[in-house]
Amino acid sequence: MGRAHEVRAKTIAKTNAAKSALYNRASKEIYLAAKSGVPDPKDNLALRSAIEKWKAQHVTKDVIDRAIAKAKDKDSSSYVAGRYEGFGPGGVAIMVDTLTDNEKRAFAAVRACFTHHGGKVGNSGSAAFNFVRMGLISFDSDKTLDEIEEDLIMNEVDIQSVDQDETTFLVQVNPADLDHAREVIMADFGVGEDDFSTCEVTYVPTGDTVKVNDEDKAKLEKLIEDMDEVEDVQAVYHNAEL
């Protein structure tokens, strides 16, 4: 059918693999949150936060509902959280969070991603100090940066920073204030619950990001892309300037 068909087929397969990995990560995190308490987001803050996080990444309602139903059925699945640290091309610090029912498989897959793309696995603590836990919210608004910052402060949201790119705002808050900040933004700025492009507790670099050359950048992007598609990987953090 020709080269164009082959390219389209590969692109579709790649997109489907990425979507499958995304849905898998969402299902496991929502399932665990539902199992940790009442399987109802109205009465389970961890579950509500997990749902909002993955909805912002366009995970479908069907995937979310199935994960909660699985928890209600008292499924025997048991997942163990893990964290691996290492360095990518150009000395970029990388931290990988996993959630798995097979720790050996998870480690082998993570190590392979590092090794195949010019990186290496480090010891515990070797890269983690480059990151800090932070609540991250991204949304569009016609308000000004000063208006948003002042409103959040007046509502006693513990904000760390507010940045703007045209009409898109990125707000960093104390992780404990993520839910409160989201409610304030919805109430005061006309943002709907499905309008957040990001709403989650994550890790961000503590200092300046690392600049890499074009060759290392290509290797690093491929490393992160392949890591994101690993079944057991939940999140990948790095301090590169991409």
Which pLDDT band holds residue 80 (cuts at 50, 70, 90)? confident
Burial of 151 (0-12, 13-18, 19+ CB in 10 A): middle
Mean pLDDT of 161-176: 92
- Rounded CA-CA distance 64/55 in Å is 9
What are the structure tokens assigned to 172, written together?
């960093």
Closest of 235, 171, 237, 241 to residue 208, by C-alpha: 241
Closest of 193, 205, 225, 211 to residue 95, by C-alpha: 205
Model pLDDT for residues 196-236, shown as the tens digit of each residue:
888 888 999 998 899 999 999 999 999 999 998 888 999 99
Tell me the sheet residues that pair with 118: none
pTM of the model: 0.76
- Rounded CA-CA distance 198/192 in Å is 13
